[in-house]
Amino acid sequence: MDSVFAKAREKMEKTISSLKYEYNSIRAGRANAAVLDKIQVDYYGCPTPINQMAAISVPEARILAIQPWDASALSLIEKAILASDLGINPSNDGRIIRLVFPALTEERRKQLSKDVAAYGEDAKVAIRQIRRDCIEKIKTMKKNSEITEDDQKYGEEEMQKITDEFIKKIDEIAAAKTKEIMDI
């Protein structure tokens, strides 16, 4: 039964990692290279992430600088950023693309907070799905006489403890991201 718990923990950790990745791509008013992770550039017919074709730095709190290794890719990167849902106009000086992140409006902050809550809720649903699958495995083990009824009860209680632990982690991560967004 320990293998069931180990697999559940592993899947739940992946859910937490996925949630953190989603939160990194949410623009919180500060420059963060992770906002570019989902943008693909059509580079010689192949979709390529920006971080694989340019050096990305944060020279100031609200500015992201992108310096491509291949100067001919500058306009391609600029077009990809414009086509994305990032909502920032890149400024190109011929060598470097600069993205200036404007301060977030109160309305935009509230919308981003709702997005954070929605991602958190999706992660909780995924965690509960993992719990349900594991409890089904435990019930199947009992049905096949691999474990006793007491073991089944213990397994279900332990699975609930693990689930509660991960739900609490999600709440903490979501609260931290919401605080980051709402800070002016």
Tell me, yes or no, if the pTM score tops 0.85: no
Based on the number of CB atoms within 10 Å of its own CB, is 115 exposed (0-12), middle (13-18) or buried (19 or more)? Answer: middle
Percent of the chain at pLDDT > 70 equals: 97
Q: Record the tokens describing residue 56, joined without a space.
A: 């990305």
Question: Whole-angstrom Cα distance, residue 102 to residue 30?
Answer: 8
User: What is the Cα–Cα distance from 170 to 20, expressed in whole angstroms?
Assistant: 9
Instruction: State which of 88-97, 145-154, 161-170 shows the largest mean pLDDT.
Output: 161-170
Structural tokens at position 141: 């083990």
Per-residue pLDDT of 103-149, as tens digits, reads 778 888 888 889 899 999 999 999 999 999 999 999 999 899 888 88
pLDDT category at 62 given cuts 50, 70, 90 is: confident
CB-based contacts of 84: which residues, under 8 Å, 6+ apart?
A: 38, 39
Strands (E), 31-121: 40-43, 46-49, 54-60, 63-68, 91-92, 97-100
Q: What domains are defined for the chain?
A: 2-24+105-182 (1.10.132.20), 33-100 (3.30.1360.40)
Task: Give, as one character, the DSSP assignment of residue 30.
Answer: S
Answer yes or no: are the C-beta atoms of 16 and 173 closer than 8 Å. Answer: yes
Q: Is the Cβ–Cβ distance between 75 and 86 less than 8 Å?
A: no
* Token code pair at residue 167: 């739900």
pLDDT digits (tens, 9 = 90+) for 171-181: 999 999 898 88
